[in-house]
Amino acid sequence: MELLGTIVVVIGTAFLFLGSLGVFRLPDVYNRLQAGTKCTTLGAFLTVIGVGLMNPGWFPKTLLIALFILLTNPISSHALGRSGRKSGVPLWEGSVVDRSDDLKEQEPRE
């Protein structure tokens, strides 16, 4: 079980590394946010699950932590992207689709 846990941790670490490369290499805030969110969600999930596999006594706790990461990371990323778009952060000029007009049509919440 420890070998499987180590393999899962290494795969998770590789995803975290690829996500950090995407944050530095991609052209605009929204692409960077996407790379950071997708890779760090999977990377952190796999790393935490791998630690749980290496230490079976910790597995219930690591499973709860992994579920928390799966639920909160995409939600916080969405909130950051939406606030960036509402505050006027421009898209990269190579972007093909802009669906932010939907945000302009909505009435503000009270």
pLDDT of 92 strictly over 90: no
Give the pLDDT of residue 84.
Answer: 83
Give the pLDDT of residue 9.
Answer: 96
Alpha helices in the chain (DSSP H): 2-25, 29-54, 59-86, 101-105
pLDDT in tens, 1-30: 889 999 999 999 999 999 999 888 888 888
Span 59-80, mean pLDDT? 93
Q: Is residue 69 part of a domain?
A: yes
Q: Is residue 73 part of a domain?
A: yes
Range of the domain at 8: 2-85
In the numeric block, which tokens belong to residue 65? 């932590």
Cα–Cα distance measured from residue 44 to residue 56, given in angstroms and rounded to the nearest whole number: 18
Q: Are 15 and 43 in contact (CB under 8 A)?
A: yes
Q: Is residue 97 part of a domain?
A: no
| Residue of 61 and 84 predicted with greater confidence | 61
Q: Is residue 77 part of a domain?
A: yes
Domain total in the chain: 1
Give the pLDDT of residue 61.
Answer: 95
Calculate the average pLDDT of the chain.
86
Confidence of residue 110 (pLDDT cuts 50, 70, 90): low
